[in-house]
Amino acid sequence: MELYNPSYIKAGELLLKDLDKKELWDFSGRLKSGDFFVLIEIPLPREKPEIPIYEAILNKMQLILSSKPGIKAGIAFTDHSDEKISDFGEFFSNLSEQTKDSSVIFLSGRGNNLQNIGQQLDSLKRLNIKNIVATTGETSGIRPSKPAQNKNTMKFVDSVHMAERISTFEGGGFFNCGAVVNPFKYSAEETYTQYYKLMKKFKCGASFAVVQAGWDMKKLQELRWFLEMRDFHAPMLARMMVLTPELSEDIFSGKYPGLIMSDDIKDLLLRESKYGYAQFASAQWRRLQIMTAGARLLGYSAVQIAGVERPEHAETVLAKIAESLDEFKSFDDWKVEYQNHLSRAEPAPFPHNYYMFDNLFQWQYPEGHLKIREARGCELSTLEKIKYKICSILFPKAHRQVPEEHYFSKKILVGCRGCAYCRVSLTHFVCPETCPKGLANGPCGGSFAGGLCEFRDRKCIYSRVFRNALWRKESNSLEDRNIAPIE
């Protein structure tokens, strides 16, 4: 990536002590105040040789973000590496106090375990870094032909368990824990299971949430209305991307699971790319401006910008966003510009187009009683109902029994993997170990359009879990029931 271009090594000579002269602000305080701000996303280095270059760029980025007038900005450190950082001091000991207070670290469950997470949290506490976002982690580079093969190649820690661990670390109170949610889902079962899992994360201690990237502003409004409907007012951050033609191609090819792009949006980007790089970039900057202003008008507390490859690009991002916040003061004016800029492109991936509410974009904020659209296409077949009833008779209390009990019945009916703690009675008789990531508390955000698992071999198991729960009129269990991990 350009981020690690050695030409930036000279930036390491910048004096961080100059940061102490800048106006201080802190992330959690900014969330509470409601003042809009920006996070610039930077991936952590994947290999140790990258660390000196990374530190040089980080120094330059800190100075740029702290000196830009007009809008507050921090850094979002994201983790995509298989090799877990055992000591965060090696990376973050030179951070200024301002950067520590104004930034967040995304802690990934990929290739991790709760014991190691505890060690990471201990290092972060010693460094006085408080803002942590719990993520299950992505599967980039992992494509086993069968889900069972994943158990020998990569482990994942459920973000619900991570949020609980972060929030209760050493009695709780030190860390400001965030969660991740993907509202860009276009079937009823995917939408509901994403939101139910988000509520479970909040109940486990998360105090804010970061929304995964997408291009459909109606889905950002849908999520806000879902929370408003429940009289729940947690701060939300909208993640957005600065696209290049190369990054667009990677998204088209499915390299980024969970990043849903409709055929209409693809065609729009392809048309823009035909006019040359400068024109393509100009269109993306304008789209970023419109979507950022829309996020603020829809009630989001901040935006997190991915795809910024150089510190100088961060300056451009902040300048563009500041312009857009001044330009758009009215929701109605913004809505017209957003729809015109999309050139009538449909952001929902045909034929999947479920929205929870019918009157999105009719108002800026929900007015009166919100009516939820019916969850169509979620009915169980007669065979599925019979199977559920058999399971409920044979092992209704499997989580309280020795795991070997009814093993062969569970093997036939739910694909039992013979783990040390049976949870099928808690997950509506769908074995969580049949999920490639082994998630027991809800889905990750990585499914493709139509609910296809990011491993591409089947639909996400939580489509079945939701349909079973809906039939039993027990869908609330999907947000109320915190299922313990298997160590």
| Co-location of 283 and 400 in the same domain | no
Between CA 167 and CA 178 the distance in angstroms is 9
Residue pair 410/430 in contact by the 8 Å Cβ criterion: no
Q: Are residues 115 and 235 in the same domain?
A: yes
CA distance 95 to 449: 40
- CATH number for position 303: 3.20.20.220
Q: Look at residue 279 in the predicted model and tell me its pLDDT.
A: 92
Given this model, what pLDDT does residue 3 score?
44
The CA distance from 487 to 411, in Å, is 21
Q: What tokens appear for 442 in the block?
A: 């809800």
Full DSSP string of 151-170: GGT--B--HHHHHHHHHTGG
Residue that is written with structure tokens 């990471």 in the block: 120
Q: Could you give the number of structural domains in the chain?
A: 2
375 within a domain of the structure (yes/no): no
278 touches 343 (CB < 8 A): no
Interval 14-68: pLDDT, tens:
434 444 444 557 898 888 888 899 999 988 876 666 677 777 788 888 888 877 6
Residue 356 lies in a domain: no
118 falls within a domain: yes
Q: Which pLDDT score is estimated for 10? A: 42
CA dist 319 and 78 (Å) reads 23
Residue 238: other Cβ atoms inside 10 A = 26
> Domain boundary residue among 279, 312, 341?
341
- Of the pLDDT bands very low, low, confident and very high (cuts 50, 70, 90), residue 343 is confident
pLDDT over 50 (residue 87): yes
Quote the mean pLDDT of the chain: 86
The pLDDT value given to residue 405 = 86
Shared domain for 79 and 224, answered yes or no, is yes
Span 135-149, average pLDDT: 58
Residues 131 and 124: their CA atoms lie apart, in Å, by 9
pLDDT (tens digit per residue) in 350-367: 899 999 998 899 999 887
One domain, residues 25 and 129: yes
User: Looking at the domain assignment, is residue 355 inside a domain?
Assistant: no
Domain boundaries, position 147: 2-341
137 lies in the same domain as 214 = yes
Alpha-helix residue ranges (DSSP H) falling in 298-348: 311-327, 331-341
Mean pLDDT in residue range 147-153 = 44
Question: Within a domain: residue 350?
Answer: no
Distances (CA, A) of 49 to 78, 89, 98, 381, 447: 18, 16, 27, 55, 33
From the number of C-beta atoms within 10 Å of its C-beta (0-12, 13-18, 19+), residue 84 rates as: middle
Q: Would strands 73-78 and 37-43 be described as parallel, antiparallel, or unpaired?
A: parallel
Give residue 45's pLDDT. 74
Residues 93 and 170 both lie in one domain = yes
Say whether both 291 and 166 belong to one domain.
yes
159 belongs to a structural domain: yes
Contacts of 183 (CB under 8 A, 6+ apart): 191, 194, 195, 211, 212, 214, 219, 220, 222, 223
Least confident of 148-152, 169-173, 395-399, 450-454: 148-152
If DSSP codes are grouped into helix, strand and coil, which group holds residue 302? strand
Q: Which tens digits make up the pLDDT trace of 223-256?
A: 999 999 988 999 999 999 999 999 999 999 888 8
- 221 domain residue, yes or no: yes
| Residues found in the chain | 487
Residues 277 and 402 in one domain: no
Domain presence at residue 320: yes
The answer, yes or no, to whether residue 155 has pLDDT greater than 70, is: yes
Whether residue 425 sits in one domain with residue 330: no
Do 325 and 392 belong to one domain? no
Clarify whether residues 124 and 197 are in a common domain: yes
User: Are 284 and 211 in a shared domain?
Assistant: yes
